Amino acid sequence: MNDLMNTVLGYVMPVYEIALAWIIDPANWVQFALLVVAYVAAVFITRKLNPRLIKALTPAADSQTALSKARRFVLIFMPLVLPLLAFALTAIGEQVTRSVFGAGEVIAFGKRVFLFLAVRAFVRDMLSDPLLKLIGKTVLIPLAAVYALGFLDPVILWLGATTVPLGNMSFSLLGLLRFAVVATIMFWLGRWSNDQSSALIEKQDMPPATRQLAVKAAEIAIFGAAFLVAMNIAGVPLTSLAVLTGALGVGIGFGLQKIASNFVSGVILLLEGQATVGDYVELDGGEAGTIVKMTARAAILETFDGKWIVVPNEDFIVTRVINYSDSGSANRYEVTFSVSYDTDINLIPGIIEPAVSALDFVLDAPHKPDVELDNFGDSGIDFIVEFWVEGIDDGQFKYRSHVRFAVWNALKDAGIEIPFPQRVLHVKGGLPVGAPE
């Protein structure tokens, strides 16, 4: 028991002596006091400054100018004002204590804690993407915590000495972590830049196909540049990606033929404008609907009943597609009807054509409604009324139903009978004896 107590005291006494020396050292008390003063001053300044900054940086709700967007971007960084201001004030205090007492370990620790709080606020309040937030929580915050505790240098040495072999290439754990940190920041900035560029391109006066191609090109350029910058900063040699690029090319050549074909077909569609968002198309297989979205791989059609059909881009190139051009084009439709044989058919065009022309969706150009004699049917005389509308009859009788109502009402008002199927039976040899007449 005595030996155990002596061993414990051998460990405790040095710690006790260090703690006692630290407590009775006036320089440490001054550093702690400056640390508290710096934090209190940062809180006071932030409470006074933040409302004024928010008021000055908040643009009008309907303003979409470049300056307004820049001001909204700056507002995103408001959660960092308090910890960064405390960090700056603490750094000034550290310079004072080191010049006066020649020591500043306590206030330097507080400065690192404030930087840790800034990193935590960045991950918690500024990162909205789930993947970026996960990287921030698993990489950025632990690194900031290690730095705050003062163990960053030995941890960096250990991470740099630990390598992960990957075929002919090898990466250190430090390089992987550096890449994750840089990629988190670069791709967050890339996402914001992509949103801004997409909104700017959408406002330009250009064909929809060209606009979508410009959006996709800007997205590829922004994230491609972010990836290259992240690889360069992380210290990953780009020449080492040659093997990966070659393997990817082989994979596309053998296993990803359809994906590559659909991607190229999508680019062709965007360039030529054969089909774009807003067009009503009918495919060779019978699928029909309005194109509501075009991606790098497929187009999404929305049918009249709200169903979505995913159609590979290749189908628009290699098969027959009927494009009704729903975006601002006139289309002709027809409705059939019949009248009885007792009707003066010469009166029909003068009755039906004005009734159909009175409908607000029927156009006078390129042609006014036209009534044509179609056939002499079994029960009546068949007519067709042709009319032009702006858009597509993409629903079940979207326009035809209104036209049929107009035809019915016009014929009823004119006293013209709409026939129904009738049959006349001739019995050879007369009726059987005793049969009722």
Helix residue ranges per DSSP H, 203-290: 208-233, 242-254, 257-272
Checking if the pLDDT of 178 tops 70, the result is yes
pLDDT value, residue 433: 64
pLDDT value, residue 67: 79
Triad 42, 47, 49: Cα angle to 5°: 90
Checking if the pLDDT of 396 tops 60, the result is no
pLDDT, greater one: 185 or 401? 401
* Calpha distance 3→9 (Å, rounded): 10
Backbone angles phi, psi at 292, to 5 degrees: -105, -15
- Which residue ranges form the domains of the chain, and what is each CATH number? 17-126 (no CATH), 275-323 (2.30.30.60), 330-413 (3.30.70.100)
Checking if the pLDDT of 330 tops 80, the result is no
Triad 260, 266, 270: Cα angle to 5°: 150
Q: What is the arithmetic mean of pLDDT over 292-302?
A: 79
What are the structure tokens assigned to 60, written together?
């009008």
Contacts 24+ apart (CB under 8 A), 33-41: 34/90, 34/93, 34/96, 34/97, 34/107, 35/90, 35/93, 35/106, 35/107, 35/110, 37/93, 38/86, 38/89, 38/90, 38/92, 38/93, 38/110, 39/86, 39/89, 39/90, 39/110, 39/114, 41/89
pLDDT value, residue 237: 61
Q: What 3 state SS string does 388-420 have?
A: EEECCCCCCCCCHHHHHHHHHHHHHHCCCCCCC
pLDDT value, residue 409: 92
Q: What is the arithmetic mean of pLDDT over 102-122?
A: 81
Checking if the pLDDT of 22 tops 60, the result is no
Q: What is the arithmetic mean of pLDDT over 168-197?
A: 72
pLDDT value, residue 408: 92
* Cβ partners under 8 Å of residue 157, min gap 6: none
Element (DSSP H or E) covering residue 31: helix 26-57
pLDDT value, residue 245: 61
Least confident range of 28-32, 140-144, 146-150, 417-421: 28-32
pLDDT value, residue 138: 83
- Helix, strand, coil shares, percent, the chain, to 5: 60, 15, 25
pLDDT value, residue 379: 81
* Calpha distance 223→244 (Å, rounded): 19
pLDDT value, residue 431: 62
pLDDT value, residue 435: 55
Rg, Å, the chain Cα set: 39
Checking if the pLDDT of 354 tops 60, the result is yes
Checking if the pLDDT of 213 tops 70, the result is no
Least confident range of 35-49, 83-97, 220-234: 220-234
| DSSP label at residue 168 | T
Checking if the pLDDT of 120 tops 80, the result is yes
Given a contact cutoff of 8 angstroms between Cβ atoms, the answer to whether 353 and 405 are in contact is: no
Distances (CA, A) of 256 to 101, 155, 250, 310, 434: 68, 42, 9, 19, 84
Element (DSSP H or E) covering residue 173: helix 173-202
Checking if the pLDDT of 25 tops 80, the result is no
Per-residue pLDDT of 42-64, as tens digits, reads 888 888 888 888 888 787 777 77
pLDDT, greater one: 121 or 169? 121
Sort strands 288-294 and 308-312 into parallel, antiparallel or unpaired.
unpaired
Per-residue pLDDT of 241-295, as tens digits, reads 555 566 556 655 665 666 677 777 777 776 766 777 777 888 877 778 888 887 7
Checking if the pLDDT of 24 tops 70, the result is no
* Calpha distance 204→201 (Å, rounded): 5
pLDDT value, residue 394: 57
pLDDT value, residue 235: 60
Checking if the pLDDT of 179 tops 70, the result is yes
Checking if the pLDDT of 27 tops 70, the result is no
* Calpha distance 404→364 (Å, rounded): 18
User: Average pLDDT of the chain?
Assistant: 76
pLDDT more than 70, % of the chain:
74
* Cβ partners under 8 Å of residue 357, min gap 6: 364, 368, 369
Least confident range of 204-208, 264-268, 311-315: 204-208
Q: What is the arithmetic mean of pLDDT over 89-95?
A: 80
